[in-house]
Amino acid sequence: MMATSRGTARFLWAAVSVVFVETIITGLALAPAVLFIHWQSTWPLSTWIRLTLASLAFAPVYLVCAISLMAYSALATRALGWRTPADVALPLRDFSWPVLDWGRYLMTIHVVRVFAGPAFRSTTIWNWYMRLNGARVGRDVWVNSLSLMDHNLLEFADGVVIGSDAHVSGHVVEHGILKTAPVRLGRNTLIGIGSVIGIGVESGDGVQVGALSVVPKFATLDAGGVYVGVPVVRLH
């Protein structure tokens, strides 16, 4: 009973803390928009002109706020130590601190990908955010998917391409157990549209994974291979 009470207390603290941190982060990210609205309201212009200028400013102000959100979120998780623990198997019901840190880390990633991801995915700015948030991302990497989680467990070498809606993460939950392992993709690896990459997967250089394929957890893909299917098999 005592262990259950402690677990519940830890969960409540984690929930309150992540809401508090996200409130601060989003407030700071929205500050440029709030300041701009206040500033333009003081212009000695007619209401219609001010509204027109405010409408035209929406896109650049949104981009500034989105970049701010990415930066503040990544810096906050780094400072607070919210990360996905590597190579663990932990029961969710215990609400241990590593599990709660993982949950809070994923929550911050989710907020960023909802509000900033659509504008910046498949750009160098998105790569910058992932690096700042713990991922190891090489040069000329293109991530055209928002379904990447556990950034600190992702390692992409130079030239990796992640297709639209591909799912890559360092965790899986099986029978109430959180299991984690890093995902390492070699140079010039191509992950096709809508594919799923399991935890602990490692690929050699030049690997191609076809669209809508599933790479099982802890699989090793040989360099230069072409893999397709559910689960994947090597074509050549």
| Residue range 187-210, pLDDT digits in tens | 999 999 999 999 999 999 999 999
| Residue range 134-179, pLDDT digits in tens | 999 999 999 999 999 999 999 999 999 999 999 999 999 999 999 9
At 34, the pLDDT band (50, 70, 90 cuts) reads: confident
What was the pLDDT predicted at 53?
Answer: 81
**Nearest-CA neighbor of 116 among 131, 103, 128, 126?**
126
**Nearest-CA neighbor of 111 among 133, 137, 131, 86?**
133
Give a yes or no: residue 235 inside a domain: no
| Residue range 90-142, pLDDT digits in tens | 999 999 999 999 999 999 999 999 999 999 999 999 999 999 999 999 999 99
In angstroms, the CA 194 to CA 1 distance is 44
Say how many residues make up the chain. 236
What was the pLDDT predicted at 188?
Answer: 98
Report how many domains make up the chain. Answer: 1
Query: Which one is predicted more confidently, 68 or 51?
Result: 68
Give a yes or no: residue 30 inside a domain: yes
Q: Could you say which DSSP state residue 222 is in? A: P
What was the pLDDT predicted at 47?
Answer: 79
Give a yes or no: residue 166 inside a domain: yes
Place of tokens 């190891």: 136
Output the six-digit token pair for 9.
Answer: 């207390």
The pTM score is 0.92
Give a yes or no: residue 207 inside a domain: yes
Give a yes or no: residue 231 inside a domain: no
| Residue range 44-64, pLDDT digits in tens | 878 788 778 878 888 899 999
Q: What is the DSSP string of 50-98?
A: HHHHHHHTHHHHHHHHHHHHHHHHHHHHHHHT--PPSS-EEEGGG--HH
Asked whether the beta carbons of 113 and 107 are under 8 A apart, the reply is no
Give a yes or no: residue 68 inside a domain: yes
What was the pLDDT predicted at 52?
Answer: 84
Instruction: Report the DSSP beta bridge partners of residue 189.
Output: none
End-to-end alpha carbon distance in the chain: 56
User: Is the confidence at residue 2, as pLDDT, over 60?
Assistant: no
Asked whether the beta carbons of 215 and 200 are under 8 A apart, the reply is no
User: Is the confidence at residue 1, as pLDDT, over 60?
Assistant: no
At 231, the pLDDT band (50, 70, 90 cuts) reads: very high
At 3, the pLDDT band (50, 70, 90 cuts) reads: low
Query: Which one is predicted more confidently, 145 or 3?
Result: 145
Give a yes or no: residue 232 inside a domain: no
What was the pLDDT predicted at 133?
Answer: 98
Parent domain of 29:
2-225
Judge residue 226's burial from the number of C-beta atoms within 10 Å of its C-beta, 0-12 exposed, 13-18 middle, 19 or more buried.
Answer: middle
What was the pLDDT predicted at 55?
Answer: 83
What was the pLDDT predicted at 201?
Answer: 98
In angstroms, the CA 165 to CA 146 distance is 7
Give a yes or no: residue 36 inside a domain: yes
Burial call 78-110: b when 16+ CB within 10 Å, e when fewer: eeeebbbbeebebeeebbbebbbbbbbbbbbbe
CA dihedral 17, 19, 21, 26 (to 10 degrees): 180
